[in-house]
């Protein structure tokens, strides 16, 4: 009986939170993206990519496919392995999108990072990802 009560309590609490306070689970998606960037793991990061993504890197700028973006990110992380990644600002951009501004440091270069996660057709994916070198 106690297990059923706990199950219902946590299930109801999660549903109430998801529908009233935060209708879209941005934190779950965002935590995975941040971890992938911190680890320099292009494959893990690509799991969050939309089928096409607006990507901005020192070597490439423009809209690319998910597969192209993963290859470009592998190259980026091998050229600029992560030393640290720090989130500077984040929040809802619109009711269906979430933004993050951060700072990515490699041994040789520091980058300003900007990305947008959007909910489209009931799926949440990374649609914009930019790494711009800081002067």
Whether pLDDT at 61 is above 80: yes
Sequence spans of domains, the chain: 24-133
The CA distance from 98 to 53, in Å, is 15
CATH fold for domain 24-133: Nuclear Transport Factor 2; Chain: A, (3.10.450)
Confidence of residue 25 (pLDDT cuts 50, 70, 90): confident
Collapsing DSSP states into helix, strand and coil, what is residue 57?
Answer: strand
The CA distance from 68 to 24, in Å, is 28
Q: Do 76 and 106 meet the contact criterion of CB atoms below 8 Å apart? A: no
Q: How far is CA 111 from CA 19, 33, 39, 41, in A?
A: 36, 16, 15, 17
* Integer-rounded Cα radius of gyration of the chain: 17
Average pLDDT on 2-17 reads: 41
Confidence of residue 23 (pLDDT cuts 50, 70, 90): low
Considering the entire predicted model, what is its pTM? 0.80
């Amino acid at each position: 009986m106690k297990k059923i009560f706990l199950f219902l309590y946590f299930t109801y609490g999660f549903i109430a939170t998801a529908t009233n306070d935060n209708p879209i689970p941005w934190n779950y998606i965002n935590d995975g993206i941040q971890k992938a960037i911190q680890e320099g793991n292009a494959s893990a990061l690509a799991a969050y990519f939309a089928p096409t993504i607006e990507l901005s890197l020192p070597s490439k700028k423009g809209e690319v496919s998910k597969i192209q973006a993963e290859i470009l990110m592998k190259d980026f992380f091998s050229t600029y392995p992560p030393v640290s990644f720090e989130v500077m600002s984040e929040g809802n951009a619109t009711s269906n999108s979430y933004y993050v501004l951060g700072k990515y440091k490699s041994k040789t270069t520091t980058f300003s990072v900007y990305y947008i996660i959007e909910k489209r057709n009931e799926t949440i994916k990374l649609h914009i990802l930019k790494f711009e070198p800081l002067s």
